[in-house]
Amino acid sequence: MIDLIGTKITPVEREMLLHPNTGGVILFTRNFESIKQLETLTAEIHSLREPHLLIAIDHEGGRVQRFHEGFTRLPSMATFGKMYREDKNKAKQLAEKTGWLMASECLATGIDFSFAPILDLGHGISGVIGDRAFDSTVDIVSILAHEFMQGMKRAGMAATGKHFPGHGSVKEDSHVGHPVDRRSLADIMMEDIIPFERMISYGLAAVMPAHVVYPQVDENAAGYSECWLQKILRQQLKFEGVIFSDDLSMEAAAPAGGYTERARKALQAGCDMVLVCNHSAEAKEVLEGLGDDINPASAMRLIRMHGHVHLNKAELHASEEWQQTVELIEPLSDSPELELDI
């Protein structure tokens, strides 16, 4: 999965998108100018290949929401955790509606899926997680994430839980540092893993591992670890969905070597698709360096991530459900000034 530098596809990018090793595109704020432009861009990307390239985005709400004009401003997930402690039913209903709203608005403009929801525990340790987490407790995170996922599913979008097996207990930001979580496997299994385990039982379609090293379990970061991805996620938790790497351009991914080596190690560990963002030359290097040995099992799993569009933008905005949901959700937004580039 690669990215684009602007609001239109350049000739070089078109060539990369047609490369057989390219399976998807992730969009960022720089790729958005207007709803009409976005719809044109996504339609062009989808028209290049059959089956079409996946189009993804990080559109969680709160500090991580790529597009704004023409999209409802979504609250941080911690909003629902706080609400749950006062009114469980209200929090569950609004989390489900927010998942539906996010997914419906993205699908209506040609985006297949958003990398959401966050399943990390918000212990107040990790600044990069912070209010992106629903709560600090396993039960509340599991319940609200399930509701959010159900809303996404109702809209026609597959959910991706991140960051396996849990990023909430390390202070360092994996974008710029090398997080290390020194807890034992037993401690992690007793806490951070539980939301992932429950969401898998609910039908979670995809997982994104953390660029975090858990030395009591493996010397490799989770996204490069056969122990985490094969032994624990696939075999022990019986996960049969897609495993996406986190961005291989992040600082915490660097110890694995050059970009092609990072991609190769992530795929060998068990990832179905790797992300290379904000480094076009390196992404091209990876495409050329991996060869043509595409895993058919990965290809079959990735087909499940295609979005199922129920309403186009005009139909969505004309619907009574959208109008009522926006009235409920938009006032919950804390309108943060900072947008994390995650």
pLDDT of residue 174: 58
- List active site positions: 175, 246
Beta strand 54-57 pairing with 113-114: parallel
Secondary structure E strands in 101-241: 113-114, 160-164, 206-209
Domain residue spans in the chain?
11-332
Query: Which of 3.40.50.720, 3.30.70.120, 3.90.1150.10, 3.20.20.300 would CATH assign to domain 11-332?
Result: 3.20.20.300
Q: What is the pLDDT of residues 7-32, one digit of tens each?
A: 999 999 999 999 999 999 999 999 99
Report residues of the chain scoring pLDDT below 50: 336-342
Planar angle of CA 35, 342, 199, nearest 5 degrees: 95
Paired with 27 in beta bridges are 57
pLDDT of residue 330: 93
Q: Half-sphere exposure (CA, 13 Å, Cβ side) for 285?
A: 15
pTM over 0.85: yes
Closest alpha carbon to 218 in 248, 193, 251, 181: 181
pLDDT of residue 293: 75
Closest alpha carbon to 265 in 306, 312, 296, 228: 228
pLDDT of residue 337: 43
User: Helix, strand or coil for residue 263?
Assistant: helix
pLDDT of residue 257: 83
